């Protein structure tokens, strides 16, 4: 079930955020994610966040800043069950969406392409020096 984030979810969401960033981005120094943990924790309670919960367990979440997907995370052991797709479908009501994804995160790039996103531009992220894509989704794209 997808529901709106509640403050009581914060610790679990931050655990998922850190674990999944470390797992998906092995090409980035782990200290980068640990260093950013508290800043993410401070903005999440005021962000538009949806969680996927099943049997009382949070299995994934998506965070939005207006039409920008700030992050989509699904626990590794829960991937391939349609959770990411359901979370994306929840925010597709916005008609236009954008996100950044590391070029080397091939699984995520493929997932977003399958969800109808396309690469708009490629750039280098200043903090990490990694190449990333700006990907966009337009509901009525032709």
Where in the chain are the domains? 2-138
How confident is the model at residue 75, as a pLDDT? 96
pLDDT at 95: 84
The CB-side HSE value for 42 (13 A sphere, CA atoms) comes to: 5
Kindly provide the residue ranges of all beta strands, DSSP E only, lying in 5-130, ordered along the sequence: 48-54, 57-65, 68-74, 96-102, 118-124
* 105 phi, psi to nearest 5 deg: -90, 70
- The label of the residue with tokens 């399958």 reads 114
Q: In this predicted structure, what is the pLDDT of residue 94? A: 86
Residue with tokens 């977003």: 112
Spans of the chain below 70 pLDDT:
140-142
- Give me the pLDDT at residue 139, please: 74
pLDDT given at position 17: 97
Topology given in CATH for the domain delimited by 2-138 = Aminopeptidase (3.40.630)
Integer Cα distance of 110 and 51 in angstroms: 22
**51 neighbors 13 (Cβ within 8 angstroms):** yes
**What is the CA 139 to chain-centroid distance, rounded?**
19
Burial 86-117 (b: 16+ CB within 10 A, else e): bbbeebeeeeebebebbbebeebbebbeebeb
């Amino acid at each position: 079930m997808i529901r709106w984030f509640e403050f009581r979810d914060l610790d679990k969401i931050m655990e998922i955020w850190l674990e999944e960033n470390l797992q998906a981005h092995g090409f980035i120094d782990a200290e980068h994610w640990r260093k950013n943990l508290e800043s993410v924790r401070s903005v999440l309670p005021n962000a538009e966040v949806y969680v996927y919960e099943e049997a009382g367990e949070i299995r994934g979440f998506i965070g939005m800043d207006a039409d920008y997907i700030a992050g989509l995370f699904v626990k590794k052991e829960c991937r391939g069950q349609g959770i990411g797709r359901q979370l994306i479908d929840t925010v597709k009501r916005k008609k236009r969406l954008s996100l950044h994804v590391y070029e080397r995160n091939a699984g995520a790039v493929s997932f977003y392409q399958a969800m109808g996103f396309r690469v708009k531009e490629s750039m280098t992220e200043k903090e990490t020096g990694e190449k990333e894509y700006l990907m966009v989704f337009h509901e009525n794209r032709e």
